[in-house]
């Protein structure tokens, strides 16, 4: 989305994406200007060229406010201000009410521009204390100093030529040293040719002598005095100019915001034209209806026309989609593109779709992917639950919630129970637009009891033992997850895949007691016909099975009735008192070996 040409525009587009608008009028204002820029191609291209000559006004205004802007930066400010009249005149050709409102509040800075044009040279040095900052004609006294210095240097140049002719020494030169000032230098081989008493010796070098004359001393005083006075006066004049610029601080900041906004919107226009985005409409009835929506990032990495577009329809009577389908089929891509389209629209950009009728979402909550925070002691599943809690706690009926594979980080029955409970809570209590993808096919029966929930699936077909992902979202539920086929795509060992196929057939044909021997990942392959339609019944079956033992027994369970000897209790007591963190790795291994030997004896 960043097709800006100024530094301040680049910062603003990031801010707009992070903070989309909530006011429909403001959103439509941005869209109207994007449309006007689309309709005026040549004006937009000329506008981009003009903006390329505008420096970072925000940064320059900030440095001015702190009083540390130098002469080169003020020249950049001058060049930027020189572009504004033509830029604003170009915007008038768009005949857009919003851009007219923007430019009416902008200042063209005629006086400030004139001040900078008359005062500063075109290529001043970075340092503001060494002169060379102020143009001739800006200050009469400064012009006198510069003229005196310039005439003195011309006299020095003539002096060198005259002395060569008088003495006949072609290598004679007049130079300058910051310590000794101006001097006449003659090599030692030519010293015998000097007329007696012509020069006064000033400095002796290894291969030369340096001399002065009364006239040279006089000119040196004049030149150096003029240069010193000129440099001091230039510095004072520059400080005065900088203070005058500082008085324009707020108009500069305001104009910078206007220019950066225009830059962002012309960028939105360019990207919308380049990728065939459309202008979205906004629904007062909180309807979410997208035709042939696309993921703006994924479609860019595919060949043109390869991306499969999808529709979505949600309204007040249908607020949730339960999405099933194979791994790798595109469930997460489908969910994310809905959120991205909404964010793009509320940022002011057109959207990747054939048409879009959107609500204005106040918040977007996502639980997608896997992440942990081990430094804080939070597992992947704990992070998943915390992010889900945030959505359930803060979401409103005007929010958008995306939940992807909730419950996969725990046992099948725990995960299924949590997933169903979360779906029911959002449906009954929150009322937000929700996309919920899952591999728990048993949850598809919720459409029978939750009237605002609809099942959809991402279609895939099987041909000659190979799976073809169609990436098309269709009505109804999926029948399989095709997890083993995805493992095949990942190039797992052939023996592993063949064994998994055998086990899958056994699990699918066995009774419910066989499910107790299956790991969480393998249980996801069970067909819905082998699991009851409701979670509470499944949980009841689960509770009939033997309870899983904890990894560590509670302290109170260690007793003599449980065949724990006094020796074992002593070892446990010693272990509790052992400070492992203060041990070296070797000491820790030795301690572990000692207790192991005691337990074996």
Q: What is the CATH number of the domain that holds 100?
A: 1.10.1420.10
CATH code of the domain covering residue 321: 3.40.50.300
Q: What's the pLDDT band for 489 if we cut at 50, 70, 90?
A: confident
Number of domains making up the chain = 4
Q: Which tokens belong to 307?
A: 């991306």
Asked if pLDDT for residue 512 goes beyond 50, the answer is no
What 8-state DSSP symbol labels residue 537? H
Q: What's the pLDDT band for 372 if we cut at 50, 70, 90?
A: low
The segment with the largest mean pLDDT, out of 136-145, 152-161, 332-341, is 332-341
In the Cβ-directed half-sphere of 389, how many Cα atoms lie within 13 Å?
6
Q: What is the DSSP string of 104-147?
A: HT----HHHHHHHHHHB-SS--S-SSSS--BPTTS-HHHHHHHH
d(CA 322, CA 416) in angstroms, rounded, equals 14
Whether 315 and 337 share a structural domain: yes
Per-residue b/e over 101-127, b at no fewer than 16 CB within 10 Å?
Answer: ebbeebbbbeebbebbeebbeeebeee
Whether residue 44 contacts residue 270, with contact meaning beta carbons closer than 8 Å, is answered with yes
The verdict on residue 165 lying in a domain is: yes
The verdict on residue 519 lying in a domain is: no
Whether residue 306 contacts residue 289, with contact meaning beta carbons closer than 8 Å, is answered with no
Whether 366 and 254 share a structural domain: no
The verdict on residue 539 lying in a domain is: no
Selected residue with higher pLDDT from 472 and 511: 472
Domain encompassing residue 380: 281-490
Bridge partners of 456, per DSSP, are 323, 475
The verdict on residue 358 lying in a domain is: yes
Asked if pLDDT for residue 263 goes beyond 70, the answer is yes
pTM for this predicted structure? 0.73
Q: What's the pLDDT band for 516 if we cut at 50, 70, 90?
A: very low
Whether 263 and 312 share a structural domain: no
The verdict on residue 405 lying in a domain is: yes
Residue-level pLDDT at 540: 41
Q: What's the gap between Cα 191 and its chain centre? A: 72
Whether 456 and 390 share a structural domain: yes
The segment with the largest mean pLDDT, out of 161-165, 189-193, 277-281, is 277-281
Q: What's the pLDDT band for 373 if we cut at 50, 70, 90?
A: low
Whether 223 and 315 share a structural domain: no
Selected residue with higher pLDDT from 579 and 282: 282
Residue whose tokens read 């459309």: 278
Residue 572 to residues 390, 555, 557, 565, Cα–Cα distance (Å): 41, 10, 13, 11
d(CA 299, CA 456) in angstroms, rounded, equals 22
Whether 318 and 439 share a structural domain: yes
Q: Which of 472, 490, 508 is the last residue of a domain?
A: 490
d(CA 226, CA 430) in angstroms, rounded, equals 80
Residue 318 to residues 102, 325, 391, Cα–Cα distance (Å): 40, 20, 19
d(CA 429, CA 423) in angstroms, rounded, equals 10
Whether 46 and 170 share a structural domain: no
Residue-level pLDDT at 405: 85
Bridge partners of 455, per DSSP, are 322
Whether 456 and 580 share a structural domain: no
Q: What percent of the chain has pLDDT over 70?
A: 89
The verdict on residue 20 lying in a domain is: yes
Residue-level pLDDT at 213: 86
Whether 170 and 260 share a structural domain: no
> Which residues, 6 or more positions from 452, have their beta carbon under 8 angstroms from its beta carbon?
317, 318, 319, 320, 427
Whether 221 and 98 share a structural domain: no
CA dihedral sign of residues 418, 421, 425, 426: positive
Average pLDDT, the chain: 84
Q: Which tokens belong to 291?
A: 């035709």
Asked if pLDDT for residue 596 goes beyond 90, the answer is no
Asked if pLDDT for residue 390 goes beyond 80, the answer is yes
The segment with the largest mean pLDDT, out of 35-39, 161-165, 185-189, 284-288, is 35-39
d(CA 329, CA 462) in angstroms, rounded, equals 13
């Amino acid at each position: 989305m960043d097709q800006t040409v100024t530094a301040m525009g680049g910062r603003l587009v990031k801010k707009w994406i992070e903070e989309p608008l909530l006011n429909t009028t403001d959103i439509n204002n941005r869209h109207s200007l994007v449309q006007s820029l689309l309709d005026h191609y040549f004006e937009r291209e000329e506008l981009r060229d003009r903006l390329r000559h505008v420096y970072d006004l925000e940064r320059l205004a900030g440095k001015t406010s702190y009083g540390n802007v130098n002469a080169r930066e003020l020249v950049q400010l001058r060049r930027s201000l020189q572009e504004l009249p033509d830029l604003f005149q170009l915007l008038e050709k768009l005949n857009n009410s919003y851009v007219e409102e923007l430019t009416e509040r902008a200042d063209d800075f005629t006086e400030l521009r004139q001040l900078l044009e008359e005062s500063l040279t075109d290529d001043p040095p970075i340092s503001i204390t060494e002169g060379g900052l102020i143009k001739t004609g800006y200050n009469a006294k400064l012009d006198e100093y510069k003229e005196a210095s310039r005439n003195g240097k011309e006299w020095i140049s003539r002096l060198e030529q005259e002395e060569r002719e008088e003495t006949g020494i072609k290598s004679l030169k007049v130079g300058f040293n910051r310590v000794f000032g101006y001097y006449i230098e003659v090599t030692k081989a030519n010293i015998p040719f000097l007329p007696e008493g012509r020069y006064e010796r000033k400095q002796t070098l290894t291969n030369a002598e340096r001399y002065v004359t009364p006239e040279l001393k006089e000119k040196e005083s004049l030149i150096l005095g003029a240069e010193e006075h000129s440099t001091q006066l230039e510095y004072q004049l520059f400080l005065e100019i900088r203070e005058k610029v500082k008085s324009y601080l707020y108009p500069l900041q305001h104009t910078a915001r206007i220019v950066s906004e225009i830059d962002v919107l012309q960028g939105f226009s360019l990207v919308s034209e380049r990728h065939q985005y459309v202008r979205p409409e906004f629904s007062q009835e909180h309807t979410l209806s997208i035709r042939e929506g696309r993921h703006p990032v994924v479609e860019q990495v595919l060949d043109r026309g390869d991306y499969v577009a999808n529709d979505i329809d949600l309204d007040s009577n249908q607020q949730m989609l339960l999405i099933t389908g194979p791994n790798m089929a595109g469930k997460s891509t489908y969910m994310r593109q809905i959120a991205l389209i909404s964010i793009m629209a509320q940022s002011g950009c057109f959207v990747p779709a054939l048409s879009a009728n959107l609500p204005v979402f106040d918040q977007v909550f996502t639980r997608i992917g896997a992440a942990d925070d081990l430094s804080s002691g939070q597992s992947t599943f704990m992070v998943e639950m915390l992010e889900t809690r945030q959505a359930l706690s803060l979401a409103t009926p005007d929010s958008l919630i995306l939940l992807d594979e909730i419950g996969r980080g725990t046992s099948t029955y725990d995960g299924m129970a949590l997933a169903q409970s979360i779906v029911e809570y959002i449906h009954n209590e929150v009322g937000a637009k929700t996309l919920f993808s899952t591999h728990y096919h048993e949850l598809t029966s919720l459409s029978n009891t939750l009237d605002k929930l609809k099942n959809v699936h991402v279609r895939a077909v099987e041909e000659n033992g190979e799976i073809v992902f169609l990436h098309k979202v269709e009505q109804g539920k999926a029948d399989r997850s095709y997890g083993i086929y995805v493992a095949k795509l990942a190039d797992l060992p052939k023996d592993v895949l063949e064994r998994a196929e055998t086990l899958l057939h056994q699990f699918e044909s066995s009774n419910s007691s066989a499910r107790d021997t299956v790991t969480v990942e393998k249980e996801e392959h069970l067909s819905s016909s082998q699991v009851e339609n409701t979670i509470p019944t499944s949980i009841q079956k689960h509770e009939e099975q033997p309870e899983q033992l904890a990894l560590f027994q509670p302290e109170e369970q260690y007793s003599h009735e449980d065949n724990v000897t006094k020796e074992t209790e002593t070892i446990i007591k010693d272990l509790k008192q052992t400070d492992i963190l203060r041990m070296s790795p070797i000491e820790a291994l030795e301690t572990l070996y000692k207790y192991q030997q005691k337990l074996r004896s």
